[in-house]
Structure 1
C-alpha cells in the first residue's frame, strides 16, 4: 500500500496516527506528512533519540530502560503506548534500533524494534534484524517497515 493509500484508509476509518521514533529521527512522520492532506490523519510525531527524551515525552520507565536497554521490544512497547497516551491518535507506531555504524555482540547493527499500539487493542512488538546494511539503508528499511505496520494495523481496526 502506498503512503497516500494508507492515509486515505486512515481518514476513511476516522483514525489519527502518531509516531514515536528514535533511530529513524522522524523519517516515518516525514513520509506521512509529505502527502498533501495528511493533517487530517497525522496527529503528531515524537522524535525521542535519547533515553531522557523517551522518558520525558513518552513516559518510558527508567526501570524498563535499565533492565532491557533502549533497543528492546519492551521499550518499543512503552514508546508506542506513550505516543497514544500523549496524543489524540488512535494508532501509533514506534521504532528504536541500532542504525549503525557499530553495535555490539548483544545488540548488532541493523537490529530495530517496533511497537504498534491501537486504542482498545493489545500492543504488538517485533524485532527485525536488517543486518549491517549501513546507516542510511537501515533507517530507510525501518521507515518502510513501520509504514507497513501502520497499514496492517488499519486492517485490524474496526
Structure 2
C-alpha cells in the first residue's frame, strides 16, 4: 500500500502534482499529504465539497447526476477527481465520496465509499466497503485513495 510519504517522493521524482475533491473526508486527504515534508512541491490544493451543492459549484459535478443518484455514486467520484485536477491545475486528481456513518445516506450503507482518480490517460473509480466507525472509515478512505494513485504511478 502506498502511503503519503511514498506518494510525495514518487510525485516529486516524476515532476507531477496532485489535487483532491473530498466529501466524506472533508480535507483529511490533503491534510495527510501536507504533513509530509516537501509536500508543497506536489500538492496543488483541494476542494472540500461536503455539502452536495458544492460538488457542482466547486468541483463541476453534473447537477443532474446528483439529483438522480445522490452524492454517493461512482460517477460522482469520477467527476470529483476530474474537477479537482482541472480546477487546481494538477497532473492527478483524486475524488472521494461516500458514507462515514453512523447512518445511511442516499440509500448507501456506512462504509460505502467511491474513490476516483483522473490523470494522464487515466480515469478510474474504485468502490470500497470499509468497516468501522466514522474516523476509521474516513482514514481508510484516504489510504485507499493513496493506494489507487500509487498503483498508477508505478
Normalised TM-score (structure 1): 0.92
Would you say how many aligned residue pairs link Structure 1 and Structure 2?
153
4+ residue segments displaced more than 4 Å: none
Q: Quote how far apart the aligned CAs of 1:106 are.
A: 3.3
The residue aligned with 1:39 is: 40
The residue aligned with 2:142 is: 143
The residue aligned with 1:79 is: 80
Q: Give the secondary structure class of the aligned counterpart of 2:114.
A: strand
Task: Find the aligned partners of 1:25 and 1:105 in 2 and give their Cα distance.
Answer: 18
CA RMSD of aligned residues (A): 1.4
Q: Quote how far apart the aligned CAs of 1:122 are.
A: 3.5
Q: Quote how far apart the aligned CAs of 1:67 are.
A: 1.8
Task: Find the aligned partners of 1:154 and 1:32 in 2 and give their Cα distance.
Answer: 16
Normalised TM-score (structure 2): 0.94
The residue aligned with 2:130 is: 130
Q: After the TM superposition, which residues 89-108 of structure 1 pair with which residues of structure 2 at under 5 Å, given as runs?
A: 89-103=90-104, 106-108=107-109
Q: 5+ unaligned residues in a row in structure 2: which ranges?
A: none
Q: Give the secondary structure class of the aligned counterpart of 2:127.
A: strand
